[in-house]
């Protein structure tokens, strides 16, 4: 059974994606197109910027959920790559020294520390990168980088600060160009005068997940759509975690044995049918979360990808009707063959 506490942790955990939204991990693909090369270089520059510059400011957060667009504002501080995000209700995320912590009405909780990721895929392998018209964000000049789908529709728009390379705005777009989620600084101070100490809460401990090279008995091998690569997998006390990336967006899949307690699910979520599987999807400020169960396993998937990309993921993950022999073939020949 997945508990209400686990569901709350998932919802708050998606807020931590905000911390990862600023440094976009990527390398630049070789290309003869000057504009694509310039866009890829900006993405690479933004990856390094968060480690080089301290800053503090306020960011507006917008997301699509039941009832339309929702808005809030968070306070963001960065000290040498350690990030603190504070929501209006006092909910806080701290990511410091490779450890993450969440504070809600019940106090501080240490997030399970995951093993180091493999190298993140080059986004140019899956997305077409280009620069867009310049803009000003929080009073600063920025260059826009657009990542487009295969059909040419934009999926992600980044506003990269011209002076520092910091990402000042990150907008996830649907196939019609409408904003599904965005994080955008409304004010920001950069440099030594903006430094605010970001430290882990005292007395709060993190458990550490254990990196694994094979899937434990009783669990299933997740299958992801083309473009996503497995960059980490780990064993937790109560399950296993798989982390995927396509260079710009990420997705994690957590599996635990049991049956899904649907009374603990978000009331504002929606139910989808994927093959023979009923999936409950909940839009969160920085991504989407989905839960379902099948064959004695409860699955939780969280991603910051666009809704259409997440739907495609769920087609692979939740509607997976492969036989056990086919799963074994995928294990040997698929992305889990690395050790």
Instruction: Write the CATH number for 52.
Output: 2.50.20.10
**Residues 179 and 222 placed together within one structural domain of the fold:** no
Out of 194, 220, 243, a domain closes at 194
The pLDDT, as a whole number, for residue 136 is 97
Residue 23 is predicted with a pLDDT of: 39
- Give the SS3 label for residue 136: strand
- Identify whether residues 186 and 117 lie together within a single domain: yes
Q: What is the pLDDT of residue 320?
A: 60
What pLDDT was estimated at residue 145?
A: 94
Asked if 40 and 183 sit in the same domain, the reply is yes
Type and span of the H or E element at 48: helix 34-52
Residue 272's pLDDT is: 85
pLDDT at position 138: 96
Residue 223 shares a structural domain with residue 302: yes
CA gap 270, 275 in Å, rounded: 16
Domain C-terminal end among 194, 218, 243: 194
Domain count, the chain: 2
Distance between CA atoms of residues 94 and 82, nearest Å: 7
Q: Could you list the mean pLDDT of each consecutive 10-residue stretch along the chain, which spans 339 residues? A: 34 39 41 75 82 90 83 89 88 86 90 80 86 94 95 95 93 94 93 82 91 85 80 90 88 90 77 86 84 90 91 82 42 36
Same domain? For 67 and 185 the reply is yes
What is residue 116's DSSP assignment?
A: P
CA atoms within 13 A on the CB side of 312: 10
The answer to whether residues 133 and 216 belong to one domain is no
Tokens of residue 258, six digits: 């049991």
State which residues form the domain around 88.
4-194
CATH code of the domain containing 262: 3.30.200.100
What is the 3-state secondary structure of 286-327? Answer: CEEEEEEEECCEEEEEEECCCHHHHHHHHHHHCCCCCCHHHH
CB-based contact 260:298 (threshold 8 Å): yes
Contact status, residue 172 vs residue 179, Cβ threshold 8 Å? yes
Question: Quick check: is 236 in a domain?
Answer: yes
The model scores a pTM over 0.75: yes
Whether residue 218 is found in the same domain as residue 325:
yes
Residue 109 and residue 227 in one domain: no
Q: Are 46 and 167 in contact (CB under 8 A)?
A: yes
Question: Based on the domain organization, do 179 and 245 belong to the same domain?
Answer: no
Q: Do 153 and 280 belong together in one domain?
A: no
For residue 179, is it within any domain? yes
């Amino acid at each position: 059974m997945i508990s209400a506490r686990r569901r709350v942790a998932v919802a708050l955990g998606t807020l931590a994606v905000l911390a990862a939204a600023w440094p976009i991990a990527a390398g630049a693909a070789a290309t003869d197109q000057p504009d694509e090369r310039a866009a890829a270089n900006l993405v690479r520059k933004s990856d390094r910027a968060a480690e080089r510059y301290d800053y503090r400011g306020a960011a507006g957060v917008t997301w699509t959920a039941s009832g339309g667009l929702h808005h809030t504002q968070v306070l963001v501080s960065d000290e040498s790559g350690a990030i603190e995000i504070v929501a209006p209700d006092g909910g806080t995320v701290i990511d410091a020294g490779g450890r993450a912590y969440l504070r809600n009405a019940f106090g501080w909780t240490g997030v399970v520390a995951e093993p180091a990721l493999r190298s993140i895929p080059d986004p140019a392998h899956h997305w077409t990168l280009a620069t867009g018209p310049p803009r000003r964000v929080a009073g600063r000049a920025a260059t826009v980088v657009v990542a487009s789908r295969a059909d040419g529709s934009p999926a992600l728009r980044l506003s990269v600060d011209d002076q520092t390379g910091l990402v000042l705005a990150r907008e996830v777009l649907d196939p019609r160009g409408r904003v599904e989620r965005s994080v955008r600084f409304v004010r920001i101070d950069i440099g030594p005068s903006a430094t605010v100490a970001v430290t882990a809460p005292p007395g709060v401990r993190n458990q550490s997940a254990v990196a694994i090279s094979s899937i434990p008995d009783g669990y299933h091998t997740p299958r992801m759509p083309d473009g996503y690569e497995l960059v980490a997998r780990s064993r937790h006390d109560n399950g296993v975690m798989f982390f995927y990336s396509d260079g710009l967006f990420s997705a994690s899949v957590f599996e635990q044995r049991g049956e899904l307690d649907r009374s603990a699910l978000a009331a504002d979520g929606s139910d989808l049918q994927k093959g023979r599987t009923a999936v409950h999807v909940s839009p969160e400020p920085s991504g989407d979360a989905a839960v379902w169960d099948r064959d004695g396993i409860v699955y939780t998937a969280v991603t910051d990808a666009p809704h259409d990309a997440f739907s495609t993921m769920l087609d692979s993950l939740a509607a997976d009707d492969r036989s056990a022999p086919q799963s074994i073939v995928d294990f040997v020949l698929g992305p889990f063959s690395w050790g």
